Structure 1
Amino acid sequence: LNPGDEVIIPAPYWVTYPELVKYSGATPVIIETDEIGKFKITPEQLKAAITSKTKMLILTSPSNPTGSVYSRDELEALSEVLKGTDIMVASDEMYEKLVYDVDFVATASISEDMYHRTVTINGLSKSAAMTGWRFGYLATPDKELIAAMNKLQSQSTSNINSITQKAAIPALLGEVDQEIESMRRAFEARADEAVELFNAIDGLSVLKPQGAFYLFVNIKDISNDSIQFCKELLQATGVAVVPGIGFGSEGYFRFSFATDISSIREGIRRIEKFVKNKKC
């Protein structure tokens, strides 16, 4: 990326992406999404955002923070818009193993055209519960791009430590797939219960996530200042959630269900009490 280049980023987005674009001297172009569209961009929105300066589209599926997952039909429709352009796609697929009632579809698998324009970003932090080990990787058929990234990586963070590499082998070989599926089922059960509990709270609402392990809870009937809401919630109840504005969408907070069901129930109970007090 160079100064003047533009990168299209659907919101809500993972917090790092706009800052990385700005750090590179380029300009993030944010496309707003909503609950009606399950927080996914449409081909029409993508087409309207493209200019002669557009260099990249960043897609996250499954999404952190919303849990939305693009279907094959949706990705095919977006790929049609990109045909005939030189726009790259950075596809963040970190949560690919954690999907619920939908099939995960890799962006690069859509077509030969998408294969050649896509850089797939993945890792073992989520699927294999190796968060602190920082094992990430990417894939692209563009060998020149890989060579350039290798130069930068080798002079900045060097490499993944040897202990982490050894620990990652069973996950990469599929030897822990059974454990991953067990974890996925547990996450799905937690999501189902948490969604039901949140939607029973007057003033709050949430869509069931299709993937990842977060809920993006709508608080617009209670507050349009998610930072203040989350600050007051933490001070009053000890429950920590992340303001939606940090992900580019005001009027929401992100709730993680990557913990035991008892903690989830207690956390939502405290949130319910807090919301009732705010409505009084």
Structure 2
Amino acid sequence: MSREHGLVDSGRLLTALGIEGRVLAEAVHAAPVDAPVPACPGWSLGEVARHVGSLYRVVRRRLVEGRSPEDWQRDPEPGQSLREFLETGLAELLDELAAHDPEERADTWWPADPTYGFWRRRMLHETLLHRVDVEQAAGADPRGVPEDLALDGIDEALTLWFGQKLPMLGLTGTKAGSVGVRSGAHSWIARAGPETTEAWRCSAEEAENADDVVTAKPAQIYLWLWGRASLTSVTVRGVHDQAAQLWALLRLATR
């Protein structure tokens, strides 16, 4: 487990990354490359595939070199299909991640977790979300999101993207308040306003005392937080202002 102690064991994260990556590559192979991606306006299925394949390569280089590389392969080689581009990049990244203990130090953009484990988690969720994108673009039946991975993804969206990336970008909310997020046996608080942007795990009682409370099954909240599900896919109790602000701030953090 990484220092930040995500909700899923590091071995499970690595296995799931391999599975989701292969499913993504197969889905890309079976759909039109110019199909528009509903959750990513202006992007086609092919552009999503190139984006993920490029990320596999830049992260592997970052791990090997200990810093962000200035240049890396962003597109398939001549004659290489998008599926092959994804599968080759995935295989090289999996080999690099598997060769190092999750607690081993690595270059990351989260001070709380400078480890190889950070990248197991981050690249799993990157792959899983874009697998959903490709399914939506292709009009395919969704495979769904396993509950344990969805809960871990909720935790990552709130603690990493809301609580860390927004402050890194200097972005804050306009109205101070809090959102309780409850799903399964887990609860979180996300607090935003002109002065602060932070999120943490909490008790169910603490979450219930927030200004707005968001509840739903883990996969629904996970996809909602990432803009892959409609606003009506979760239940919001309260005045809704804070839940709407949370959703809007995450769109800025994750674009």
| TM bucket normalised to smaller | under 0.3
Q: TM-score, normalised by structure 1?
A: 0.24
Rg larger in 1 or in 2? 1
Structure with the bigger RCO (C-alpha within 8 Å, sep 6+) is 2
Q: TM-score, normalised by structure 2?
A: 0.26
Higher strand fraction: Structure 1 or Structure 2? 1
Higher helix fraction: Structure 1 or Structure 2? 2
